[in-house]
Chain A
Amino acid sequence: MRIQRITLTNYRGVDLAEVTFDECGVTVIEGDNEAGKTSLVEALDLLLDERFKDRSGDRRVKAVRPVHRDADPEVEAEISTGPYRFVFAKRWGRRGMTTLDISAPRREQLTGDEAHERVQSILSETLDTGLLRALQVRQGTELALPSFVDTDLGAALDTAAGAVGDSDSHDGIWQAITAERDIYWTPKGKRKTILSDSQRSVAEAEADVASLTQQLAEVEADAERATRLASDTERLQQLVLQAEEARDECQRQVDAAEEVEGELSQLESELERLKTEAARARADHEARTDLVNEDARYRQEAAELRARAEKAAPALAAAQRHYDEAEAAHRTAREYFDQIQRASALADRDSEHLRQIIEARHLRARHERVAAAQERLDAANAVIESVQLDSEDVTQIEAAQQAVIEAQAAADAGSATVVTTGLSDVEVIVDGVALHMREGDEQVTDVVDSAEIVVPDSLKITVTAGNESRQLSSKRVEAEAALRMLCDEVGVANLAEARDALERRDAASRKLGRARDDIERDLDDLTVDDLASKAERLSARVAAYPNERTADVALPPDHDTALRAALDLRDELKRAKSALDSAVTILESAQKALHREEIDHAALTATIAAADTATASATQKLETARAQLADAVLGQRVAAAQETERAARTDRDASRRQLKKLDIGSLRDRLSNAGQALERARAALSKNRDDLRALQISLDLRGEKGLGAQLDAACSNRDRCIAQDRSLRDRAEAARLLHQVFERRRSEARQRYIAPFKQRIEQYGRIVYDTSFAVDVNDALAVSRRTLGGITLGVNQLSTGAQEQLGIIARLACASIVSPDGSGAPVILDDALGWSDPSRLRGMGAAINSASEHCQVIILTCTPGRYAHVGNATVVSPPMSPRLA
């Protein structure tokens, strides 16, 4: 289809517009935005779309009505398509109108729906509307590389590829072939379960057959075995019979030998019996000899004992005598010892008594001394308590006295001295002290402070000491005061008194010590009271003793005498004791000797008695035995028994030799062996019967199964499975082969079919890019990949600009292929190539120019100059003006 002209009237904002296009070549319509360029494309759609008749109230139709005027929009186009050339006009609205004026191939004029239908018929006959849309690149629509698969391009390519016939039905066959292949195989050529299932069925069926064949073979083998077993039965029965006979023969031989054995046994026991009898006869004979010997022995023993008893009698008498003597000596010694012992005890008591008398006296004396010492002690204590001073006090007083003396001496030296000398007897008072002075008496008075000498009634002289003298005197007074104070403290008048007091105290202390020593010595761990009571008790005892004592012997005069007597008696007692001990020893020895002799005597006496009894008993026994059987008879019996035994032994030995010859052991072994052989034969027969019975039962049971029928069925099933499997495999192989062959041929055809389109794209592409440009075109007749400069990229990986360029190149290629005979559709580019750089625009211009030799290209743009590189473009600018009319 080519568009020669299009005229819009009352269309949107356009009152009237008309554009004329180059039928072959490029028409560029330049105009500002909103100038109505896109309306041209839209108007063409409305005009040609079968849905929009002139009465249409469709939203899209309403949308193109002028806004401010009540006018019906109208579109008229002059179009050629295929052999047809016509002018077609439509006005939508109340005054809707459709007119068609066909000028070629023959004239035709139609109006209304007839015109509408006719145009649709022409278009459907000559125009591929899908292609018409595919060849448009509209402003604002999504960039997409067009697929031309459902367009006239396919037919054109078919024609170019030289194919004839309906390609749709080939697709149908191809789908059917693929579907058939898919029944058996995966796209990658692997078997599907339908094949493996079938094979498994065959394998299972074969396994069934094998199993049943095996079972049947077993049945047959068992049947043959049963036959063998049945023939074995007879042989085994025969064997048992033979074994029984052999066993019986052995038994007979053994029985005969055992008879001999029985006889031998009897002979052996007879011999044993005779041996016993002979032994008994010998024993009887020996017993008699023993009795005779015993009797004689007992008699001899009794005689020997009696002789011994006679020989032992004097020794016993001597021992008795010796004992009697020892006993008398012992008695004498005992009596003397007792006497001395008593005397010694009395002497000891006397001595003690006398000693106690002395002790009692001593105790009393000690008591008196203690009492006296106590008195002294008390007196000394009284003295010590009365004296208040001690040696230190005296030392201090002595020091004070010395100080007074020194102070006196100093005062004396420094003071005036008044010497009063009596010229007669006179009474003088010196310093208040009345003195009676005789002639020649001299009284020296040291004046310390002052001194006053008065002669009564006559005179008073006052001497006053000088100052220094007074000071010295004052010191002396102080020393004296100190001395006096010390003395006062200890209750003495002066030093002498103090020394005296100290002397008394020391003396009392010494007395005290002595008194204490005395008391201590005399008490000697006792108290005074103890001492007293002890003395008292002792005195009482002493007083009592004379009354207790025997009066037969006089009490010795004194203690020493008593003590001496007692000691003498003790010595004597020791001697008596020693004599007594020795007498006891002798007595004991004698007693033991006597006792021994007495025992010996008694034992001998008893032995003699026993010997007498034994002798009597033996004699009795011998006599009794002899009364029963004489000694000679016994000897004869022994001889007879020995002879009989010898004869029996000869018989026994003969029998033994016979038995040995028969060899009963071997006979028994043979019998045992024959018995075992029989048992084995019987066991074998029994096992054979058991086996046969078991086998027969097993065969019967298996017979009930109908294995043969089962095998037949299994074989049939197997054959059927194999046949089915073969058939299935044949079908699968056929399907695969068919698919393979078709796929190969189809692929080759595809490549051939696509080739012109691909070549055309590459032809234009190389104008835009360079000679390295190449594309892959897929089955959907869309560009899938682009190769440039050796780099191949999927179209989705290309930049927006490159995708747009490729899209336009593909459209140009498509249009240039389908359009030459007047079919096809124009390539309409509405504001395209906005993303292309100037060099690409140049190339695109050249490509568009090249393509436009074969097809109509209509370009709408608001960018003057963008398509300046399209060589032979007709530029319509402005494309239309409002209100041309």
Chain B
Amino acid sequence: MKFIHTADWQLGMTRHFLDGEAQSRFSQARIDAVGNIGQLAVDEECDFVVVSGDVFESNQIDRQVLARALDAMAATPEVTFYLVPGNHDPLDAASIFRSNTFRERRLPNVVVLEDSEPLPVADGIELVGAPWTSKRPLQDLVDQACAAAAPPAALRIIVGHGALDNRSPDASDPALISLERLEARIEADEVHYVALGDRHSTTNEGTTGRVWYSGAPEPTDYREEDPGNVLVVELEPGRIEVAPRSVGKWRFRQHQCHLSSDTDIDSLQQWLDALEDKQRTVVKLSLVGSVSLDQKERLDRLLDHFADSLAALETWERRSDLVVVPDDAEISTLGLAGFANDALGDLRELAQSSDPAEAVRAQNATALLHRLTRSAQ
């Protein structure tokens, strides 16, 4: 028996660094991923798909996104999607799963696990959902769901969402999922697979090989280690096989480079040039070093160029420290004499100021002078 384990679709998510057109493509890619998962299920002859929480970015997303998501799942009517509400889309009074749009378009192949009643989904297979009903649960919902359900009548898959206690830095969070208890239940043959969501990177948790985070099918941030996958799970009594399948099309890359020479800029250019599928790649650069006015101009042109070709190109302000210092050759090419030269000297002195704000201001003023002089010449 095979099924697909996925999670954290977070449909309706927007990224502030994406401009309008890129945001549209980003959103569409995430909808497309849903359709691709359905198609993958057909191709892999999977019996169903479980989505372990955070199907939607929030309960307050644009209803158009919901409609498109339902359309995407409707495209493969033979595949049933079992959805569990997560912390982003809890099953509360404002739940999107109870919205008019969702109710009116209720699809036969879309099932929301609203409680923890074991649900037989295939021969010898039952699902136990651990849905979030509020944003701040006060207990381990997965453990609670396991405890509440009757003893398993078949292979039991727990579909839950949240952080495992072995990973969280905040041990006092009552909602943490106990890995130890889960493994004990697996050991006791009460649970046979735990399909978790929340962590966007694909992760095999613990030692049983039966507790997995599928990761997000499309990456959403730079910090994610191994996003863009779904898991094809083959489960039989006494045997389990979990195979990640890459479905993500977008990439988030962050890159730090030291710039102090034209060569460094060349390297950066080469790195950027080498990026594949630029229009679906989001890059965040941290730039450190010291460049001349000309180099800064070149760098700016370079960044402008890639900002156009990439989905987004951000500069990581917090991790950037790029000083612009005109070199002597630049000074002489400006052809400034007399008072103008004196003024430039003043600015260069200010650029070395211990007050970083003043230094930046002076650098900017120097760059401006550079630009104005060039255009005047």
A688 to chain B, nearest CB (A): 13
B307 contacts partner chain A, Cβ-Cβ < 8 Å = no
Partner of A220, one of B23, B94, B346, B347: B94
A720 contacts partner chain B, Cβ-Cβ < 8 Å = yes
Assess the B100–A700 pair: CB atoms within 8 A.
yes
Assess the B60–A706 pair: CB atoms within 8 A.
yes
Given contacts A180-B372, A703-B59, A730-B360, contact A742 B343 (CB under 8 A): yes
Q: Render A737-756 as a binary contact track against B, CB cut-off 8 A, 1 for contact.
A: 11001101110111000000
A216 contacts partner chain B, Cβ-Cβ < 8 Å = yes
Assess the A702–B60 pair: CB atoms within 8 A.
yes
Assess the A227–B376 pair: CB atoms within 8 A.
no
Partner of A176, one of B23, B64, B101, B372: B372
A383 contacts partner chain B, Cβ-Cβ < 8 Å = no
Q: Which of A116-124, A367-375, A660-668, A707-715 contacts B (4 or more CB under 8 A)?
A: A707-715
Given contacts A173-B373, A230-B93, A734-B368, contact A707 B60 (CB under 8 A): yes
Partner of B12, one of A170, A216, A709, A737: A709
Q: Which A residues are in CB contact (< 8 Å) with B101? A: 704
Q: Which B residues are in CB contact (< 8 Å) with A226? A: 92-94
Find residues 211-236 in chain A having any chain B CB closer than 8 Å to their own CB.
216, 219-220, 222-227, 230
A285 to B14 CA separation, bound complex (whole angstroms): 112
Q: Which B residues are in CB contact (< 8 Å) with A634? A: none
Partner of B94, one of A223, A720, A742: A223
Number of interface residues of B (CB under 8 A): 51
B65 contacts partner chain A, Cβ-Cβ < 8 Å = yes
A723 to chain B, nearest CB (A): 9
Q: Which A residues are in CB contact (< 8 Å) with B262? A: none
Given contacts A222-B93, A226-B93, A737-B361, contact A745 B342 (CB under 8 A): yes
Q: Render B62-99 as a binary contact track against A, CB cut-off 8 A, 1 for contact.
A: 11110000000000000000000000000011111001
Assess the B94–A702 pair: CB atoms within 8 A.
yes
Chain A residue nearest to B96 (CB atoms) is A703
Partner of B361, one of A163, A169, A715, A733: A733
A172 to B373 CA separation, bound complex (whole angstroms): 8
A164 to B93 CA separation, bound complex (whole angstroms): 79
Q: Render A257-282 as a binary contact track against B, CB cut-off 8 A, 1 for contact.
A: 00000000000000000000000000
A699 to B133 CA separation, bound complex (whole angstroms): 15
Assess the B93–A223 pair: CB atoms within 8 A.
yes
Given contacts A164-B337, A719-B16, contact A749 B342 (CB under 8 A): yes
B331 to chain A, nearest CB (A): 13
A268 to B375 CA separation, bound complex (whole angstroms): 122
Assess the A738–B61 pair: CB atoms within 8 A.
no
Q: Which B residues are in CB contact (< 8 Å) with A705? A: 60
B317 to chain A, nearest CB (A): 9
* Majority DSSP secondary structure for residues of A touching B: helix
Q: Which B residues are in CB contact (< 8 Å) with A164? A: 337-338
A709 to B361 CA separation, bound complex (whole angstroms): 37
Given contacts A173-B373, A703-B99, A737-B361, contact A708 B343 (CB under 8 A): no
B58 contacts partner chain A, Cβ-Cβ < 8 Å = yes
A282 to B13 CA separation, bound complex (whole angstroms): 105
A95 to chain B, nearest CB (A): 52
A165 contacts partner chain B, Cβ-Cβ < 8 Å = yes
Q: Which B residues are in CB contact (< 8 Å) with A699? A: 93-94
Given contacts A173-B372, A222-B93, A708-B58, contact A746 B343 (CB under 8 A): yes
A161 contacts partner chain B, Cβ-Cβ < 8 Å = yes
A512 to chain B, nearest CB (A): 155
Assess the B376–A173 pair: CB atoms within 8 A.
yes
A713 to chain B, nearest CB (A): 6
Assess the A170–B338 pair: CB atoms within 8 A.
yes
Q: Render A786-798 as a binary contact track against B, CB cut-off 8 A, 1 for contact.
A: 0000000000000
Q: Which A residues are in CB contact (< 8 Å) with B23? A: 716
Assess the B62–A706 pair: CB atoms within 8 A.
yes
Assess the A219–B336 pair: CB atoms within 8 A.
no
Q: Which B residues are in CB contact (< 8 Å) with A746? A: 339-340, 343
A71 to B323 CA separation, bound complex (whole angstroms): 79
Chain A residue nearest to B373 (CB atoms) is A173
B294 to chain A, nearest CB (A): 18
Partner of A704, one of B13, B93, B100, B368: B100
Q: Which of A164, A230, A733 has the most CB of B within 10 A?
A: A733
A419 to chain B, nearest CB (A): 198
A696 contacts partner chain B, Cβ-Cβ < 8 Å = yes
Given contacts A702-B60, A708-B12, A720-B16, contact A749 B338 (CB under 8 A): yes
A695 contacts partner chain B, Cβ-Cβ < 8 Å = yes
Q: Which A residues are in CB contact (< 8 Å) with B376? A: 169, 172-173, 176
Partner of B63, one of A163, A706, A731: A706
Given contacts A176-B376, A745-B346, contact A703 B60 (CB under 8 A): yes
A131 contacts partner chain B, Cβ-Cβ < 8 Å = no
B360 to chain A, nearest CB (A): 7
A227 to B61 CA separation, bound complex (whole angstroms): 21
Find residues 189-231 in chain A having any chain B CB closer than 8 Å to their own CB.
216, 219-220, 222-227, 230
A700 to B337 CA separation, bound complex (whole angstroms): 71
Assess the B338–A742 pair: CB atoms within 8 A.
no
Assess the A222–B94 pair: CB atoms within 8 A.
yes
A177 contacts partner chain B, Cβ-Cβ < 8 Å = yes
Assess the B340–A704 pair: CB atoms within 8 A.
no
A813 contacts partner chain B, Cβ-Cβ < 8 Å = no
Partner of B343, one of A222, A695, A745, A750: A745
Assess the A219–B367 pair: CB atoms within 8 A.
no
Q: Which A residues are in CB contact (< 8 Å) with B268? A: none
Chain B residue nearest to A720 (CB atoms) is B16
Q: Which B residues are in CB contact (< 8 Å) with A347? A: none
Chain B residue nearest to A709 (CB atoms) is B62
Q: Which of A225, A711, A715, A716 has the most CB of B within 10 A?
A: A716
Given contacts A170-B338, A216-B60, contact A734 B365 (CB under 8 A): yes
B105 contacts partner chain A, Cβ-Cβ < 8 Å = no
B369 contacts partner chain A, Cβ-Cβ < 8 Å = yes
Chain B residue nearest to A229 (CB atoms) is B93
B354 contacts partner chain A, Cβ-Cβ < 8 Å = no
Find residues 149-202 in chain B having any chain A CB closer than 8 Å to their own CB.
none
A719 to B14 CA separation, bound complex (whole angstroms): 13
A504 to chain B, nearest CB (A): 166
Q: Render B362-374 as a binary contact track against A, CB cut-off 8 A, 1 for contact.
A: 1011011100110
A702 to B100 CA separation, bound complex (whole angstroms): 11
Chain B residue nearest to A161 (CB atoms) is B338
A750 to B346 CA separation, bound complex (whole angstroms): 17
Q: Which A residues are in CB contact (< 8 Å) with B338? A: 158, 161, 163-165, 167, 170, 749
Assess the A709–B65 pair: CB atoms within 8 A.
yes
A735 contacts partner chain B, Cβ-Cβ < 8 Å = yes
A703 to B95 CA separation, bound complex (whole angstroms): 8
Q: Which B residues are in CB contact (< 8 Å) with A711? A: 60
Assess the B364–A169 pair: CB atoms within 8 A.
no
Assess the B361–A734 pair: CB atoms within 8 A.
yes
A846 to B229 CA separation, bound complex (whole angstroms): 100
A700 to B57 CA separation, bound complex (whole angstroms): 17
Q: Which A residues are in CB contact (< 8 Å) with B290? A: none
15 inter-chain pairs at a CB distance below 8 angstroms, sorted by A residue, are A165-B336, A165-B337, A173-B369, A216-B60, A223-B92, A223-B134, A226-B94, A703-B59, A706-B60, A707-B60, A708-B60, A709-B61, A712-B57, A741-B365, A745-B340
In addition to A735-B365, A738-B365, 7 A-B residue pairs with Cβ atoms within 8 Å of each other are A161-B338, A163-B337, A176-B372, A223-B92, A226-B92, A734-B365, A737-B365
The residues of A with any CB-CB pair to B shorter than 8 Å are 158, 161, 163-167, 169-170, 172-174, 176-177, 180, 216, 219-220, 222-227, 230, 695-696, 699-700, 702-709, 711-713, 715-716, 719-720, 730-731, 733-735, 737-738, 741-742, 744-746, 748-750
Q: Which 6 A-B pairs have the closest CB atoms?
A: A226-B93, A749-B339, A165-B337, A708-B60, A734-B364, A706-B62
The residues of B with any CB-CB pair to A shorter than 8 Å are 12-16, 18, 23, 57-65, 92-96, 99-101, 133-135, 335-340, 342-343, 346-347, 350, 360-362, 364-365, 367-369, 372-373, 375-377
